[in-house]
Structure 1
Amino acid sequence: MQIDLSGKTALVTGSTSGIGFAIAKGLAEGGARVVVNGRRAESVATASDRLRQAVAGAEIVGVDADVTEEAGVARLQSEVPTVDVLVNNLGIFGAQPALEISDDDWRRYFETNVLSATRLIRSYLPGMIETGWGRVIDIASDSAIVIPAEMIHYGMSKTALLAVSRGFAKAAAGTGVTVNSVIAGPTHTGGVEDFVYELVDDDLPWEEAQREFMRLHRPQSLLQRLIEPEEIANLVTYLASPLASATTGAAVRVDGGYVDSIVP
């Protein structure tokens, strides 16, 4: 299969590092003009330069805007009025005992992980529908289905994101625009390394710590290792392409077999 995204503009939120950066790179390799987004101008500029160096001839646009706020989304859309591919990757996570999650924490997780995506879809979906082609991809998590005891507020937000994706897919029915979510499994990023060391002995070397984390906290993983960001990006790049024209309203898994069910 050959993925051709030439002539398409793709926006990836939270794309200065980790999964978001890998997705941005995958889309750029497919020929898309990629909009890198983050909150800090310095990190956006650094990530944009890294992408230009990694992908010869890539057209990269950097926009620093906090998409958890209405003003940030408005600023982003003023810089990039329309997109063909929207990847809602921005998200936060962290361990916290269930009975200690405050109202403010619940709101922060919902606003960051769910409402930011909803705002962006509202902003960009009408243009896609008018054009008759577009892709919306929301990065969810295995935690949407297997709610982790150590971060139920995160699980809640990702479950809600699955509903958001399915609902907007119905709003775009028959228009040539697809809306899907990607259920990502435990993935190796800098933030996850910090999270792993919150739950296992922080004196362990990384490879041992990773194995201990998977053994104790994610034993149902069939992969039995953390997923690399590029493995998530491969699926997202496919879903963003014309090849995935018949996939919409779906929650597609790239979870290393973590979710113990045949369907999501």
Structure 2
Amino acid sequence: MQIDLKGKTAIVTGSTRGIGYAIALGLAGAGATVVITGRKQTDVDQALNKLRDQVQGAQVRGVAADLGNAAGFAILQKAEPVADILVNNLGIFNLQPFAEIPDEEWMRFFEINIMSGVRASRAYLPGMQQKNWGRIVFISSESGLNIPADMIHYGFTKTGYLAISRGLAKSLAGTGITVNAVLPGPTLSEGVQHLVAPDADYAAAEREANAFVKEHRSTSIIQRVATPEEVANMVVYVCSPQASATTGAALRVDGGVVDTIS
């Protein structure tokens, strides 16, 4: 199967590193014009240069803005008013006991992990409706189904994405626009690498992460962490013309962690 996204513009939020960058790389490799976003201009520039090195002739642009608030999103929308593909990847996580999570932290997670996707989808949907074609993808998590006891506020936001994506897909019934959620499981992104082994190299961090999966996500069938590229492969497919009959779905890339046949 050859995925061809030439002529399509894709915005990937939170895409200077990790899963977001891997998605941007995959979409650029399929021929899409990709817009990378991040809070800092230096991070955006570094990601753009890296992507251009990895994909010869890549059509990529970047916008530096804090999409965790409405003002930052206005900057993105002014710079990039139209998108054919939107991947709502921006998100934060943190280990914290429930009793120690203040109101401010709940609201911070809600603004970044939920409202960034709501604002982006609301803004770019009209352009997709005019063309009667579009792809919206929400990056949820297996933690939205298996709520982690030490990251309840994070799990809550990822469950929220499942509800939003399903409802939005239903509201677009009969159109050429699909809306889906992708649920990564434990994935060795830069953020996870820093969490499990902040001072170690990649190989050591991978060993630590795999040990974590075996001990704390014992239902994993692959018995290891996934790579950001493995998650990105699912997202690129969902964004493709070939995925036209896939909508309203919660697509797991969790290595089998969620122990259900549905």
Bin for the TM-score computed over the shorter chain: over 0.9
Q: State whether structure 2 residue 115 is matched by structure 1 residue 105.
A: no
Asked if 2 retains the 8 angstrom alpha-carbon contact of 1:129 and 1:172, the reply is no
Query: Given the two structures, how large is their TM-score scaled by the length of structure 1?
Result: 0.95
Code of the residue aligned with 2:235 in structure 1: it is V
What is the aligned partner in structure 2 of residue 231 from structure 1? Answer: 230
Q: Secondary structure at the match of 1:182?
A: strand
- Give structure 2 stretches of 5+ with no counterpart: none
Q: Secondary structure at the match of 1:174?
A: coil
Offset, 1:119: 0.5
In structure 2, what is the Cα distance between the partners aligned to 1:71 and 1:207?
38
CA deviations 1:218-241 (Å, max 9, x no partner) are 111111111000000100000000
RMSD of aligned residue pairs (Cα, Å): 1.5
Asked if 2 retains the 8 angstrom alpha-carbon contact of 1:94 and 1:195, the reply is no
In structure 2, what is the Cα distance between the partners aligned to 1:251 and 1:258?
14
Query: Given the two structures, how large is their TM-score scaled by the length of structure 2?
Result: 0.96
CA deviations 1:128-148 (Å, max 9, x no partner) are 011110000000000000001
What is the aligned partner in structure 1 of residue 51 from structure 2? Answer: 51
Q: State whether structure 2 residue 91 is matched by structure 1 residue 62.
A: no
Matched pairs, number: 259
Asked if 1 retains the 8 angstrom alpha-carbon contact of 2:214 and 2:224, the reply is no
Distance change (3 Å), C-alpha of 1:24 and 1:208: closer
In structure 2, what is the Cα distance between the partners aligned to 1:207 and 1:119?
35
CA deviations 1:83-105 (Å, max 9, x no partner) are 00000000000111121111111
1:112-191 alignment to 2 at 5 Å? 112-191=112-191
In structure 1, what is the Cα distance between the partners aligned to 2:105 and 2:217?
24
- Give structure 1 stretches of 5+ with no counterpart: 199-203
In structure 1, what is the Cα distance between the partners aligned to 2:83 and 2:204?
42
In structure 1, what is the Cα distance between the partners aligned to 2:216 and 2:185?
13
Identity among equivalent pairs (%):
55
CA deviations 1:150-194 (Å, max 9, x no partner) are 111100000001101111112222121000000111100111022
Moved beyond 4 Å, runs of 4+: none
CA deviations 1:16-65 (Å, max 9, x no partner) are 00000000000000000000000100100110011111001110001111
In structure 2, what is the Cα distance between the partners aligned to 1:71 and 1:102?
24
What is the aligned partner in structure 1 of residue 217 from structure 2? Answer: 218
Code of the residue aligned with 2:32 in structure 1: it is A
What is the aligned partner in structure 1 of residue 240 from structure 2? Answer: 241
Offset, 1:217: 1.7
Asked if 1 retains the 8 angstrom alpha-carbon contact of 2:197 and 2:204, the reply is no
In structure 2, what is the Cα distance between the partners aligned to 1:29 and 1:79?
23
In structure 2, what is the Cα distance between the partners aligned to 1:6 and 1:117?
24
In structure 2, what is the Cα distance between the partners aligned to 1:211 and 1:5?
34
Asked if 2 retains the 8 angstrom alpha-carbon contact of 1:12 and 1:88, the reply is yes
